[in-house]
């Protein structure tokens, strides 16, 4: 698997777009790096940049960005709401694919060493890159901020990990590390009071607050240690601040493990705590990027609270999440620019699926041999499952069936999974055909080239046989859904379940034709016979399943 790491440097400039552009330009100039997001904040005077690539390229881009930021940003003149200590304040590396946290930490250490020695900037390591756990927490490292670091850096316990032990008045110091993916998330309040916002932040953040008596003195235990009242949310860091740009106070949060505390749980808990203090949450703001599942889970969470089906499209789930969390209160929220998976996807992977219906039909009708019967079979299967899913959603919301909404919601969710798989197979079947054509186009001038070409043709042919077989398997699994909806779903939509069965049967039989014609080109006749036999069994069952669904439909229609 290709190794991918993400880098999310925070630069202490959020107002001068010319400076920000120069920094991001030097990131994009590094080959093998993809710039995903640039998120400037005027009130914080801080820009969060996100880019991704293979480790060596990402480390080079990060180094160049830190160098450029040091040349362009004068920390002695910097003012902003966010805690900061350097022109490049913090630069975390995050493992994305094919690489461990330990290896990512080594890349962070390598970057830190280079920044310290070549640029002469004091560097502190944090999180997984820091061996000394007494100074691995970012907030502890940054305590005192820029203004306090002229003295702090002279303390023996705060000697930098790399670079000089002198604080650079212009560039400050930089914190470099390796950590898991976190979501930077701000929740808006209907107040201008930083004190009240901080009170809520202390209510919810994991670190909580120190206990105080009526006179405001810190209460200590028998050992003389301050007694801490923990907050209600695990894996959450939070502070309150006032954002002049928006004219409201916010709870600024880092959700360090969204599997422990997801975005929607953090939002609802802050709503509850705010209401208890006479305040109201008006919306929220995402800083940087977010994983797709975080929004999908939020959409499902809020639909369940409404007792509505969660088996709706990905786009609808994101819409519900955005509206429920108020992510569009302070400005438009564009999922295609904020969801990390959307930014990493290759548009060519869904060329057919992203076409309009008429364009897809025109492409099919053209003289090009692809998309052909395999892709059309996959699309018919997707439509068949979609009809069954529609009946489930209609049934979930049917008046008088309120006590059954969860039953139908579960069916609809399964339908969405099958539909999405079949839509992907629309393009995959065409790619499989194109691989055969590419293999036939390989050179054959020498014996070695002929051998390699023959092997490539056979490998591509095998794959082109396996893909329609997969279409058969996925489409055939949709019969359980449409039969269940024909028998128990909204009776006004029983005909839709019947049409779904017809489409699924056609998908299975059409894909089987592709299995047979492609298997005929395999030199391994044993493998070919096994593929054909598997497909034949699926087809026979699909025909029987279709008949069973139609019998139910026709009986109900009369």
Rg of the chain taking only CA atoms, in angstroms:
29
Domains observed in the chain: 4-178 (3.30.990.10), 183-344 (3.30.70.670), 347-557 (1.20.120.680)
pLDDT, one tens digit per residue, over 163-191 is 999 999 999 999 999 998 889 999 999 99
* Annotated catalytic residue 82: yes
State the pLDDT confidence band at 346, using cuts at 50, 70 and 90.
Answer: confident
Per-residue confidence (pLDDT) for residue 1, from 0 to 100:
61
Q: How far is CA 377 from the centre of its chain?
A: 30
Q: Which of 89, 161, 297, 429 does the annotation list as catalytic?
A: 429
Per-residue confidence (pLDDT) for residue 341, from 0 to 100:
87
Per-residue confidence (pLDDT) for residue 366, from 0 to 100:
93
Task: Tally the C-alpha atoms within 13 A of residue 404's C-alpha that lie toward its C-beta.
Answer: 17
Q: What is the dihedral of CA 123, 126, 129, 133, to 10 degrees?
A: 120
Give me the residue label for tokens 């160049």.
64
266 Cβ contact list (under 8 Å, min separation 6): 185, 187, 204, 233, 236, 253, 255
Q: Which of 82, 89, 203, 545 does the annotation list as catalytic?
A: 82
Structure tokens, 276: 């208890």
pLDDT, one tens digit per residue, over 236-253 is 999 999 998 899 999 999
DSSP string computed for 130-152: -S-GGG--HHHHHTTHHHHHHHH
Structure tokens, 219: 């209460």
Give me the residue label for tokens 């109900």.
556
Q: What is the dihedral of CA 389, 395, 398, 403, to 10 degrees?
A: -120
Q: How far is CA 506 from the centre of its chain?
A: 35
Mean pLDDT across the chain:
94
State the pLDDT confidence band at 350, using cuts at 50, 70 and 90.
Answer: confident
Mean pLDDT of 392-408: 93
Quick check: 480 pLDDT over 80? yes
Which pTM was predicted? 0.83
Mean pLDDT of 134-159: 94
Per-residue confidence (pLDDT) for residue 421, from 0 to 100:
97
Per-residue confidence (pLDDT) for residue 219, from 0 to 100:
87
pLDDT, one tens digit per residue, over 299-312 is 999 999 999 999 99
Mean pLDDT of 357-379: 92
């Amino acid at each position: 698997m290709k190794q991918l790491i993400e880098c999310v440097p925070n630069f202490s400039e959020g107002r001068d777009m010319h400076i920000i552009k120069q920094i991001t330009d030097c990131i994009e100039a590094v080959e093998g790096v993809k710039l995903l997001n640039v998120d400037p904040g005027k009130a914080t005077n801080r820009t969060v940049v996100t880019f991704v690539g293979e480790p060596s390229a990402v480390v080079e881009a990060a180094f160049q960005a830190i160098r450029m930021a040091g040349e362009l940003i004068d920390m002695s003149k910097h003012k902003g709401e966010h805690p900061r200590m350097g022109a490049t304040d913090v630069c975390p590396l995050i493992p994305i694919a094919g690489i461990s946290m330990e290896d990512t930490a080594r890349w962070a250490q390598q970057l830190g060493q280079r920044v310290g020695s070549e640029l002469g900037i004091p560097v502190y390591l944090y999180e997984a890159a820091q061996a000394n756990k007494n100074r691995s927490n970012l907030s502890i490292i940054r305590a005192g901020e820029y203004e306090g670091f002229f003295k702090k850096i002279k303390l023996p316990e705060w000697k930098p990990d790399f670079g000089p032990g002198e604080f650079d008045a212009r560039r400050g110091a930089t914190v470099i590390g390796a950590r898991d993916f976190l979501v930077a998330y701000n929740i808006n309040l209907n107040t201008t009071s930083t004190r009240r916002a901080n009170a809520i932040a202390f209510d919810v953040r994991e670190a909580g607050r120190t206990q105080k008596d009526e006179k405001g003195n810190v209460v200590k235990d028998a050992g003389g240690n301050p007694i801490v009242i923990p907050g209600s949310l695990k894996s959450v860091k939070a502070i309150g601040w006032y954002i002049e740009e928006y004219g409201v106070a916010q709870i600024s949060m880092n959700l360090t493990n969204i599997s422990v505390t997801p975005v929607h749980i953090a939002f609802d808990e802050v709503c509850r705590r705010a209401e208890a203090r006479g305040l109201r949450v008006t919306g929220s703001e995402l800083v940087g990027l977010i994983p797709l599942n975080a929004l999908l889970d939020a959409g499902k969470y809020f639909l369940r609270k409404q007792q509505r089906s969660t088996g709706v499209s990905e786009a609808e789930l994101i819409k519900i999440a955005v509206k429920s969390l108020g992510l569009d209160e302070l400005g438009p929220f564009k999922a295609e620019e904020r969801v990390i998976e959307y930014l990493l996807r290759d548009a060519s992977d869904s060329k057919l699926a992203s076409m309009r219906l008429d364009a897809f039909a025109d492409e099919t009708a053209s003289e090009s041999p692809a998309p052909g019967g395999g892709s059309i079979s996959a699309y018919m299967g997707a439509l068949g499952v979609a009809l069954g899913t529609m009946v489930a959603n209609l049934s979930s919301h049917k008046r008088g069936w309120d006590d059954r909404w969860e039953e139908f919601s579960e069916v609809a969710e399964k339908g969405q999974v099958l539909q999405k798989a079949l839509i992907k197979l629309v393009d995959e079947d065409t790619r499989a055909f194109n691989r055969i054509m590419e293999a036939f186009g390989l050179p054959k001038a020498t014996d070695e080239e002929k051998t390699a070409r023959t092997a490539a043709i056979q490998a591509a042919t095998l794959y082109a046989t396996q893909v329609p077989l997969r279409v058969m398997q996925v489409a055939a699994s949709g019969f359980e859904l449409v039969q269940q909806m024909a028998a128990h779903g909204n009776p006004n939509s029983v005909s839709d379940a019947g049409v779904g069965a017809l489409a699924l049967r056609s998908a299975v039989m059409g894909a089987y034709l592709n299995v047979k014609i492609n298997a005929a080109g395999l030199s391994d006749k044993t493998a070919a016979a096994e593929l054909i036999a598997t497909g034949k069994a699926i087809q026979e069952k699909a025909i029987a399943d279709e008949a069973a669904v139609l019998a139910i439909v026709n009986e109900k229609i009369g």
